[in-house]
């Protein structure tokens, strides 16, 4: 997998109501599934699909609403979403201000490039939420993974 995980992706989409557009153009540092309780709430399902990209690779048109919460690591995690339709956009951590954690579902219909390499926060994954058997599980954060 070395090297292949840093694919360059160019894709654009808008939220469900069209108020906010987001374009990704650049390298994807990591792709993962996250079963933390916050991702379960935000996704409305058992896990979220997340792509980590450099801040500079992301362009936003429109004004997202944000929500801050403390994460287990002591950092502040900020979710960005559309205030009108609720579509999740991306998250960021105060510990890694140059990284963006994109909700890959934002690019629905244009996200076949997504190839998660691991499941993080497997400690809160539910038995009903099926995840491919071959994906490595990490109970919380993977070293060097999601900050
Ligand atoms: Zn919207
Ligand atoms: Zn999560």
Is 97 inside a domain boundary?
Answer: yes
Is 114 inside a domain boundary?
Answer: yes
Is 141 inside a domain boundary?
Answer: no
Q: 31 alpha carbon to ligand 2 midpoint, in Å?
A: 12
Residue 36 and residue 73 in contact, taking contact as beta carbons nearer than 8 Å: no
Most distant CA pair in the chain, distance: 40
Q: For residue 13, how many other CB atoms are within 10 A of its CB?
A: 17
pLDDT of 84-116, one tens digit each? 999 999 999 999 999 999 999 999 999 999 999
Is 86 inside a domain boundary?
Answer: yes
- pLDDT of residue 72 exceeding 90, the answer is no
Structural domain range at position 93: 8-124
Q: What per-residue confidence (pLDDT) applies to 146?
A: 46
Is 143 inside a domain boundary?
Answer: no
| Alpha helices (H) in the chain, listed in sequence order | 37-43
Q: 62 alpha carbon to ligand 1 midpoint, in Å?
A: 9
How much is the average pLDDT of 69-74?
84
- pLDDT of residue 5 exceeding 80, the answer is no
- pLDDT of residue 3 exceeding 70, the answer is no
φ/ψ (deg, to 5) at 9: -125, 135
pLDDT of 9-20, one tens digit each? 999 999 999 999
Number of domains in the chain: 1
Residues whose beta carbons lie less than 5 angstroms from ion ligand 1:
15, 17, 19, 82, 84-85
């Amino acid at each position: 997998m070395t090297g292949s995980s840093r694919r360059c992706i160019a894709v654009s989409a808008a939220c469900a109501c069209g108020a906010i557009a987001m374009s990704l153009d650049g390298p994807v540092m990591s792709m993962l599934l996250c079963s933390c309780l916050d991702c379960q709430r935000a996704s409305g399902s058992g896990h979220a699909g997340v792509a980590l990209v450099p801040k500079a690779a992301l362009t936003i048109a429109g004004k997202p609403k944000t929500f801050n919460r403390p994460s287990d690591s002591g950092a502040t995690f900020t979710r960005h979403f559309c205030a009108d339709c609720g579509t999740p956009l991306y998250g960021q951590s105060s510990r890694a201000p140059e990284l963006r954690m994109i909700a890959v579902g934002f690019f629905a219909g244009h996200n076949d490039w997504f190839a998660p390499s691991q499941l993080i926060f497997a400690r809160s994954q539910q038995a009903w939420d099926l995840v491919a058997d071959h994906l490595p599980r990490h109970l919380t954060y993977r070293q060097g993974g999601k900050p």
